[in-house]
Every structure is written in C-alpha cells, then in structure tokens.
Amino acid sequence: MNHIIKDLSQRVWLAYLLIIIVLCLIGSYKDIFSATYILAVDHLAPAYDYSTTVGFNSTPSKEQLETGIYYYNRCVETFPGEKGHAWHMLGYYLYLYGDKKNAIQAIEKSVELVPVFFWSQYNRGVYYFNEKDFAKAAEAFNGAASLDMRLTVMVILNSKTYLQVLCRSSSQTKANNPSIKLIDTFNKTRGYQALSQFCLQNPGHPACSQALQMNYF
Amino acid sequence: MLTHCKTILTNFLSRIPVSGWIIFSFAAWLVAFRDFISTKAYSTSDAIAYIMSSLDLVSNLKRGVWPLWLSYYGHGVPFDFFTQRMGAYNPLYTFMTSVYATKVFSFPVAYLLTLSLYYFLGMIGFYLLLKKIYHDRRVAFGGFILLLFSSLGIRIFDSFLCLMSVPLIWFFYFLTAFLIAPRKLWFAGCILCAMILCNTYVPFYFIMTFMLVAFCFSVVFWSDILPIFKRLAKFFCLHPLFCLAMLTLFVITLVPSAALYFNSYGNIALPLRHGAQPALSALPAATDHILKVDPGYLKWGAFEELIYSSFFTSVKRFNLGIVFFPLVSLVLILWGSFGRINKRITFFLLTTLLFLLIGSPRTPVYTFFAEHLFFFKYFRNLHFFLWFAVFPLFVLIFSEFLYQLLNQDKTWGSYKKQTLCVINIVLHMLLAVFLLVRGDLGFVATFTIGTSGLFIWRLLVGSPAVEWAVCGALCLLVIPQSLNIFLHLSEKNLACTAGYPQETSTLGLQPENVVVNLAKVPKRLPDDYYASNAWSELANNISGPAITNYIRNTLVFYDRVKPLQYDRYGLRRMEIAFLNDENLAFVPADAKLERLSNNATPLAHPLRDNGTHNDRVTIKTQNTNYFAFATNLPNDKFMVFNDAYHPQWHAFINGKETRLIRANIGFKGLWVPAGKALVEFRFGTPLWYWFNVFIWLIFNALFVGILVVMVRDRRKGQL
C-alpha cells in the first residue's frame, strides 16, 4: 500500500492537480469570465452605431445590403428556430439600408423573441436614441445593461444566423477604420444610459443635439 | 507486391534526414498560409500597423536614409517610437529591404514572406534548443512541428508577437548552450538576442521573462547553480576583453531605448497607453486603470485569452488570435500525467504556472508585482506572456512526455504494457467523446485520434522508434488537422479585399495626405494612438473644424505674430483666427520674439502654400528627416510649417541656424527674410543620426558574424 502511495505521489498528475488548485484559489474567475464574455459579445455581433464597420470591409454597397435583406428575410421564413436572430440581423441590414421604420419593427420582434440577447436591446436603444425618443432609449439601455452577457455569447455561438457574421471576422474592420474601436461596449452602454436619461429630463439641452450630431459615443 | 511497395517506401522514408522533415513541415505551413502571405486573405489588427511602420522603415532604408522623423503620421512624430516598437535595428529589416528591393514582391508580400521565414528561423532555434536539452532529434522534431503549427505562427497575420518570440527562443537556445559549455559563439548569440529584445516593443517583457525563468531554474536546479557559476567565471577570466567588448556593445545599443524614454517626457503623447493620467512620461500603461477601474479590455490577461479562445476552437469558428495547438499535444499532455515527475518537468510546470499568474491582472500575484516592481506599469498586453512564454513552455512539457514515451523502460513486464495499452485506448476514446460532444469530431479529427492511438500503442508494445518513423508519424498527427483549420481560416479571410498600404513616391510633404489625415482628426484625443505632444495639445484644445480650416496647407506665411497665453481666452482667440483665416500667427507668451510684424502693410489673409513649384516657394530637397525650401518672398514673413513641433527640430536660413519657435500651438515657425532664401529644417543632430546608423551596423555585423561561425562550426560538425 505504501509503495503504491509513494508511486502515485511521484506522478505528474499530482503536479497538474496542484496547479489547478493554486489557479482556482487565487484567480478571480467571476471577473475573468465576465470580462471575457463582454469582449466576446463585442466581437461577435453587430451594433447599429458601428454599422458600417461590422461585417464589412468598408461602407456596404446598396447591392450588398439588398442581398443581406433578401437573405435574412429568407432566414425568417425558412428557419423557425432562428427567427429571433434572423429578425435582429434583418433589422440591422434594414437600418443600414435606410429603411428605419421596418428596421425597428424587426428589432422589436427580435427583442420579443430573444429577450436575453444584448445586441437586440442595445441596438433598439441606439435606434430610439437617434430618433430622439429618449424615454424608449433609456428603457432599452437599462434593459441591455442588466442582461447577463454569458447568455448573449451562448445565443450567438448556438445560432446558425450569427455564424454568418462570425465567419467575417469583425477584427478585420479595425484595420480599415483605426479610429473606430469595437471594444468598450459596456462603457458605451452606460454612457448612452446616462445621456438618454439626461435628455429625457432636458430634451432641449444643446448637449443632446450635439451628441446626436457628433455621434458622440 | 505489398511487401515490395512497403520495402520501397520504408527505404525511401528512412533516407530522409530530420532536416528533410523540417523543410517538408515548413512547406506544409506555407501551403496553409499561402493566401495570407500572397495577401489574398487579409491580415488584421496590429499586423497592419506593423506593416505600415515597416514600410516606412524599409522604404527609407532603400533610399539610404535612417528615419528619425515621420511627417505623414499623426502630423509629424519622432520615429524612435516605431524604431523601438518594431525593433528596427533587427537584421530582419535589412533582409526585408533586400527582398523588397528586388521588386519581385509588393511590400505586404515581402513583409509577410520575410516574417514567415523569420518565424521558421525561430522554430529552427526551438529545434536546436530541444536538441541541446534532450540530445534526441526525434523529440526535437516533435517540439518543432508542434510549435510551428501552433497559433503562434498565425499571429504573424494579426499581431507582432513573432518579432519578440523568435529572438526570445534563440536567446534561450544560446543561453542553454552557454550554460552547458561556455563558448564565445554562445555568448555573442545571447548578447545579440538580448540587444534585439531590448530594442523591440517594451524591453521589460524580456526582462521579466528572463528573471522568472532564472528564478524557477534556481529553485529547481539549485544544486547545479554553483558548478554553472564556476564555469562562467572561468570563461570570463579566459576571455575578459571579448566579454567586455560584448557587454559594451550591449550597453551602447540600449542608448536609443533610453533616449526614447527620456524624450517621452513632454514630447510625445500615447493616450491609449497612459489614458487620462497626468503622467509625465507617455510610455507607462495606465496601471491604475488595469487594477482599479472597470474597462474590461484593459484587464485582458492570459486566462481571459484562453477562455475567449475556447469559444472559437471549432473549425468553423476559428479565427486569428485564437489559442490553438494540434490535438496530439493534448493527447501527450494527458498521457504524460501518468509519467514520473522529474526536475525538468517540475521546472517547466512551475515556470508555466508563474507566467500564468503574472500574466493575469485578476490574481494577487500580479497585484503584488504591480505594486512593488516599477516596470510593471509598462505592461499593457499581459496576455503576451501567454504567447511568447507559455506557448514554448507548453511545447517543452509536450517534448518531455514525448521523450519519456520514446525512451520508456524496455524491461516492463507484459502486465504493465497491457495496462498501459488499455489506458491508451480509454484515453483516446474519451478524447473522441469530448470532441463528439463539442461537435468537432470530423473526418480529420477522427483520423488524428486514430493515428495517435496507433502511434502510442506501437511504442508501448516495443516497436522500434526509429527517427524517420517518429518524424513521419508526427507529421501525420499534426499536419492534416492543422491544415484543415488553417485553410478554412484563409478561406474565411479571402472575402476581405481591403487594400494594404503602399509605398508613397515622395516622402513627407504630400498636402493631400495631410488633408486626408486631417479629415480623420478625432474630435477627442483618445482616438490618437501616437502623436507629438505639440499636436496633441492642439487637437485637445482647438475644435476639429477650426483645425481643418487652418491646416489645409502645409506652409502658411504670416505678416504678424501674436504672443498668447494658452488659457481659455487665448485658445478661443486662436480658434477664431483659424476659422477666419486671419493673417496672424500665435506663439507662446514667453517666446520673447525679437519682432512681431514685418512693418509692411499686412494682407487680409496669410499666404498659403503647399511647397509645389511656384515663384514664391519651392521644395528643394526632402527626406524624412530633412526639408529644404527655396523661398522668394516680397517682404519678411513669419513662416509656419504645418508639421508638428518638436524640440529636436533645427532650422537654418541660408545655412545659418535660426531660432525655431513653436507656432500655433503645434507647429514649427520662424521669420523668413524677403527675397531669395534657403530655409532648411533638420530633425536631430548629425551625431545622433550617425549613431543610429552605427547601431544598425552593429546589429547586422554581429548577426552576420554569428551566422558565419555557426555555419563553419556546422560544417566541422561542432554544432
């Protein structure tokens, strides 16, 4: 028995175990996972305010947008399980195309079908903010900020619709638009949240119109 | 017939030396990344910034100029920041310049091809390191092929890690060789690699890596420390002059880094690095942000990188910058857990653990170092430790297990062998189930698991592990799976056709470039990655439209100058003048200018020029460090050259040095006399310029010297 214990204590697996214990004891894994999920969310899916940079190398052409709209319309019709995501992507393309009325309808449907999805909420907020409907914007941003990012990552990674976006690396866009950063979404959400609430209370304030003009965030 | 074919194949394969397998592996790697190297698939992120910086350096080297200033980046910046960031003295760039000068390749292709060869050079270094440790070519090849096909190589196309990892690998190869048997060659190699590493990116990454490895080595191999010191002391006593000369060279080559450090005080701005902190130097990263505030991306470390990568491990989701090792590495790491622990494995595991801990900002180990070690504030990309330290360490652990497997005890009884065979089957089956659950068990993965099981089983039952068979098996285990993933990655990136930067026909004064850059003038500074302090102050205090209106020309000639306090009122006054195009230049209130007006009737607006050929002003000569204008003005004018001000710029009028004044917050200004005059601007002193050239020559000469000696020793069979 002693021989066996002595033999086992000299094996590499014991070193592995020790390493795992040390790592588990001294790492703040909750924070690590949280940071990772936020960045993953940022890299995986599109936002309206970065609309020309995500998924495209440059500003998308009219033909590209029409193809996208056709494709995601078909997705909505063809894949019932994918409807929530397909509506979101359709809204995104319609927004870029300039069809804002249908875009918001699509995004509202997406929020209704996949309420835990960060980007639907966030893009809904951006839409209303740009349309100066600060009450709805604040509501959407509050909703977005309260969501669990892990769920959004899971939604994206398990969705065939988002795989299309995923396959076009969003990081490529940074090279073409160095001044636009895809990171820091969470801070942006908080900023939008605060500004929406401020503009709701002070609708005529110059800061609101200035922010709208400058695309401040 | 089958036996005959087998004999022919065996004869053929057994004649292939390890070098043949190495070349074959690299050829396969090139095939995997051919679309990236030929720029059909698009590189991203930091790789683009480095391609641009390399283009600036190489195009200047091709013209025979060592760049000290870059006019067309951020409205003029000192080049020493780029020199340090990309390690411009590295002989790699001399080779890159030669490749590009052949005019066979466009610059991005020349860059990516050269960097791929550089990466291959690094892998050769790793092979030699393993050979030095294990004296076994099979193990060395195993480590080589695993690291070659890891995602470290992929980072050529989205990062600059290759520039640090390759010299680091060679440094540890030379160091290992030197510690085992001190020789001049090894010492010179160590010095060259240390020189390159201290002049590439942030040198403290190398210093930290070296310190940590040395610490772990001392802890594990403490009984070997004294004999090593004795050997080293004997070597230094035998060759004092050589050692002194080498150490002197090393110290001399640190001068540019030190100069950058001191110049960073008040002369340059790196807002993304040092955030909004009122730091004196621009170089330190915002450590307080990393530790206390919550922007997630600033707290990115090794664990975050690993967890993030876990989202993308499948073939379809795989992307650039994702941690990847061929499946066989996992098999051997699991298999090795049944092996006995020894000093080597303890050393590798301990070092890996410490790198993971200091490479993650959310551990108390990191916090401790950040609070007590002064250079921790220079680390912004902590996950880099994962790539250039943990990656090679992981492969070293793999190599140790491969070594144990290949050199197992031949006296094992049949019972023990049978038990191990069962464990082998169970292990591979578990792996297959794991991949199946993840949805990654395709044809290639099944083939790899099957081959791996067969390979280990053959070794366990005592089949001879001859060199060619092991190398061939490792190729089968690593290459198909990696090719499957990498080719898919290329295919995904083929869709991106955005252009790469191309060499500009002339340097510096390209008014249209200036205007194009200005169109991107950020409304707030944090979008600027690197700028001169003068430009940053301007961009921070004057509105975008006013700057755009003002800076539409490269040269502006004023009749009047106004000293101004740069307070709120003064800045608004300047903004109005810029918007109205007033014939009035501004200098700091304490500038003590001899004259403020040309005493002639001032024009309503200043004269504006781009330095193209006309009667008034012509560009005589220009390179990146020097501009000369021939002027012919109707009366004395205050000339503002809209290229950022920096205290190291010198101005000359008709050959005589003239006082250069910081005008309009950010630019260079001086009084130019009426009539014909030659106005020259020169960045830095001739001494500093030739010192840089001298250092560049030292790097290249040392590299060639080491290469020649290594080739000679190899021919003599001494290597």
pLDDT surpassing 90 at residue A173: no
Residue A71: C-alpha distances to residues A59, A65, A90, B368, B611 (Å):
19, 10, 8, 53, 52
Same domain, B182 and B249: yes
- Considering the domain boundaries, does residue B361 fall inside one? yes
pLDDT of residue A202: 64
pLDDT digits (tens, 9 = 90+) for A40-51: 665 565 554 443
| Whether B351 contacts A26, CB under 8 Å | no
Residue indicated by tokens 């004869």 = B11
B390 plus B526 within the same structural domain: no
Residue B281 has pLDDT above 80, yes or no: no
- pLDDT above 90 (res B622): no
Rounded to a whole number of angstroms, the distance from the CA of B355 to the nearest CA of chain A is 12
Cβ–Cβ below 8 Å for A214 and B523? yes
Question: Residues B549, B555, B559, B560: what is their CA dihedral angle, to the nearest 10 degrees?
Answer: 60
Same domain, B466 and B614: no
Tokens of A69: 């709209």
Q: Which of residues 129-158 of A touch B (CB under 8 A)?
A: 153, 157
The mean per-residue pLDDT over the stretch B196-213 comes to: 94
Mutation for testing the B interface, residue in A118, A155, A172 having most B CBs under 10 Å: A172
**Taking residues B423-447, what's their average pLDDT?**
85
The confidence score (pLDDT) of residue B337 equals 87
Number of domains in chain B: 2
Residue B596 vs residue B210, higher pLDDT: B210
Condensed to tens digits (0 to 9), the pLDDT of residues B60-93 reads: 999 899 999 988 777 888 999 999 999 999 999 9
Could you tell me if B488 and B628 lie in one domain?
A: no
B379 lies in some domain = yes
Count the residues in chain B.
719
CA angle, A176 as apex, A174 and A178 as ends, to 5°?
A: 55
* Contact flag B316-A40 (C-beta cutoff 8 Å): no
Asked if residue B526 is part of any domain, the answer here is yes
Please report which confidence band the pLDDT of residue B528 belongs to, taking 50, 70 and 90 as the band edges. Answer: low
Give the residue-averaged pLDDT of B362-370: 83
Does residue B669 share a domain with residue B594?
yes
In a domain? residue B421: no
In this prediction, residues B635-644 reach a mean pLDDT of 90
Both B23 and B48 in one domain: the answer is yes
Residue B8: is it exposed, middle or buried by C-beta count within 10 angstroms (0-12/13-18/19+)? exposed
pLDDT at B102: 92
User: A123-132, B343-352, B659-668: which range is least confident on average?
Assistant: A123-132
Structural domain includes residue B292? no
Q: What pLDDT, on a 0 to 100 scale, did the predictor assign at position B651?
A: 96
Tell which A residues from 21 to 50 touch B, by Cβ distance under 8 Å: 22-23, 26-29, 31-36, 38-40
B197 lies in some domain: yes
**Token digits of residue B333:** 């790491």
Q: Which of B274, B254, B251 is nearest to B262 (CA)?
A: B254
**pLDDT at residue B417, rounded to an integer:** 79
Among partner residues A22, A36, A178, which is closest to B304 by beta-carbon distance?
A36
Q: What average pLDDT does this structure show over A117-134?
A: 83
Considering only CB atoms, which chain A residues are within 8 Å of B526?
none
User: Domain of B126?
Assistant: 2-263+300-410+462-495+694-715
In 3D, which of B212, B207, B251 has the Cα closest to residue B378? B207
Which of the pair, B198 or B407, is modelled with greater confidence? B198
The CA-atom distances, in angstroms, between B621 and each of A8, B217, B627, B628 are: 76, 56, 6, 5
Q: Are B134 and B127 in contact (CB under 8 A)?
A: no
Residue B204 has pLDDT above 50, yes or no: yes
Both B491 and B614 in one domain: the answer is no
Per-residue pLDDT band at A32 (split at 50, 70, 90):
confident
User: Between B158, B296, B497, which is nearest A35 by CB?
Assistant: B296
**DSSP 8-state class, residue B525:** G
Residue B283 placed within a domain: no
Amino acid A196: pLDDT: 63
Residue B613 in domain: yes
Choice among B577-586, B644-653, B685-694 with the minimum mean pLDDT: B577-586
Task: Give the N- to C-terminal CA distance of chain B in Å, as an integer.
Answer: 43
Of A127-131, A200-204, B486-490, minimum mean pLDDT range = A200-204
Do both B78 and B206 map to the same domain? yes
Per-residue confidence at B295, pLDDT binned at 50, 70, 90?
very low
pLDDT of residue A157: 66
Structure tokens at A112: 């209704």
Contact B490, B33 (CB under 8 A): yes
Q: Looking at residue A178, what is its pLDDT? A: 28
> A25 φ, ψ to 5°?
-75, -35
Contact B474, B328 (CB under 8 A): yes
Of B150 and B461, the structure prediction assigns the larger pLDDT to: B150
Tell me whether strands B561-564 and B675-683 are parallel, antiparallel or unpaired.
unpaired
Q: Do A176 and B498 touch (CB under 8 A)?
A: yes
pLDDT-above-90 percentage for chain B: 48
Straight-line distance from the first to the last Cα atom of chain A, in angstroms, rounded to the nearest whole number: 67
Q: Is B4 exposed, middle or buried (0-12, 13-18, 19+ CB in 10 A)?
A: exposed
Residue A132 falls in which region: left (phi positive, over 0), alpha (psi -120 to 50) or beta? left
For residue B96, count other CB atoms closer than 10 A to its CB. 24
Answer yes or no: is pLDDT of B125 > 70: yes
Domains and CATH numbers, chain A: 28-214 (1.25.40.10)
- B52: pLDDT strictly greater than 90: no
Q: How far is B363 from chain A (nearest CA, A)?
A: 5
Q: What is the CA radius of gyration of chain B?
A: 30
CA distance A161 to B454: 39
How many CB atoms sit inside 10 A of residue B590's CB? 7
Write down the pLDDT at residue B507: 32
Output the pLDDT for position B312: 74
Amino acid at B67: P
Mean pLDDT, all residues of chain A: 68
Q: CB–CB of B531/B75 below 8 Å?
A: yes
Q: Which of A52-66, B22-36, B522-536, B589-603 has the lowest mean pLDDT?
A: A52-66
pLDDT value of position A123: 83
Question: What pLDDT digit, counting tens, does each position of A75-99 carry?
Answer: 777 666 666 778 888 888 888 888 8
Chain B hits for A157, Cβ within 8 Å: 311, 317
Residues B625 and B703 occupy one common structural domain: no
Exposure string of B116-143, with b = 16+ CB inside 10 Å and e = fewer, is: bbbbbebbbbbbbbbbbbbebbbbbbbb
Mean per-residue pLDDT of chain B: 85
Pairing of strands B637-644, B77-78: unpaired
Are residue B570 and residue B518 in the same domain, yes or no?
Answer: yes
| B677 min Cα distance to partner chain A (Å) | 40
- Band of pLDDT at residue A203, cut at 50, 70 and 90: low
Residue B280 pLDDT greater than 60, yes or no: no
Of residues B512 and B73, the one with the higher pLDDT is B73
Same domain membership, residue B526 and residue B483: no
Same domain, B13 and B118: yes
pLDDT at residue B165 in the model: 96
Chain B residue with minimum CA distance to A16: B337
Lowest mean pLDDT among B246-250, B344-348, B423-427, B463-467: B463-467
Backbone angles phi, psi at B377, to 5 degrees: -70, -10
Give the separation between CA B577 and CA A45, rounded to whole angstroms: 45
The candidate with the shortest Cα–Cα distance to B220, out of B95, B350, B46, B92, is: B350
Using CA of residue B325, residue B331, residue B334, residue B336, what is the dihedral sign? negative
